[in-house]
Amino acid sequence: MKRFILILFLPIFLGASSPKKTPDKVNFYTGTLTSALEKAKKEGKLVFVDFYASWCAPCQLMDEYTFTDSNLAEYMDDKFIPIKINIDDFDGFAYKNQYNINLLPTLLVMNCEGKEIERKEEGLVPSKLSAFLQKNFIPSNICSKPASIASPAPPVIEEPSKPVIDEPVSPKPSVPDVPKPPTVKPPKPTTPPSTTTTTSKPKPNNLQEGLFRFTVQRQPSKGYSVQVGAFGEYGNVLREVYKLQKVFPSTPIIVFIGAKNGRTIYKVLVGEFTTRTKAHDYKEYMKRKGSSGLIKNLEFMQ
């Protein structure tokens, strides 16, 4: 009886003392970029962003050979919040313009404020990506610095015998980038400056933060409009509406709020038209102005 009890409880004690399981591949964060930045700030980490597209061959090779390296995955899990952004999906196109993505894959390291630290515009094997990450994971780049940062960095991962990925690929042609709102320089002071100055922490320019003024009213579910984009983050909706209002100042901008797979989706549309023909004519006009879209029947928006 005593022997039976010992055998019964032995696996429990062994399981309690087992070490943390090493990830066999990079576990990419599935939330939004905004929430990834917040998570990085809370945990004292940096954010690693992989800009990709489904048609990008070097991106596919990185998924197959680079992000499946267990040593790289372990280091990434400890020091970074990794996230993938598809430039053809929801907010991806907005982030493509925001971070000036011209080649795929583009690999970005940024701090918790969304400020870019360094980028690589090429596919990398595990050892080169590991060296790139270790180079940038230094205390001065961290928003909040936990004690774990003081620990020595792991050795550079040895080069695996896997295909080398070093060919950058240009993405498919897309809508031309829209220039960012101009920066207004403050007027020169008319009085001599005081000897004591107060400085405030500047906000990152690439987030295009600031004040927006707008009014909201219900849109009747009838007629047609031209949908120009779908977004998952409301900040991108505001920036898109601001951009469209500058290009089409006399045309109403409509935002449809819906849900897909438990996630809120915002669809931005331009104009309200009584017939599909009128919507088509305006779509062609928008195309000449550098914006593309799809004709939508407002009665069946979902």
**Could you tell me the two tokens for 297?**
């029947």
Indicate the burial class of 117 (C-beta count within 10 angstroms; 0-12, 13-18, 19 or more): middle
The CA distance from 167 to 122, in Å, is 6
Indicate the burial class of 28 (C-beta count within 10 angstroms; 0-12, 13-18, 19 or more): middle
CA nearest neighbour of 259 among 64, 24, 90, 73: 90
Q: 256: which strand partners?
A: 267
Of 59, 108, 109, 270, the active-site residue reads 59
On whether the CB atoms of residues 289 and 250 are closer than 8 A, the answer is no
Determine phi and psi for 68, rounding to 5 degrees: -100, 5
Active site residue 56: yes
Contacts of 259 (CB under 8 A, 6+ apart): 265
Of 56, 157, 286, 298, the active-site residue reads 56
Strand order in the sheet with 106-110: 80-86, 46-52, 106-110, 116-120
**Amino acid making up residue 151:** S
Determine phi and psi for 280, rounding to 5 degrees: -65, -40
Q: Of all helices (H) and strands (E), which one includes residue 82? A: strand 80-86
On whether the CB atoms of residues 47 and 117 are closer than 8 A, the answer is no
On whether the CB atoms of residues 47 and 81 are closer than 8 A, the answer is yes
Active site residue 59: yes
The catalytic site residues sit at: 56, 59
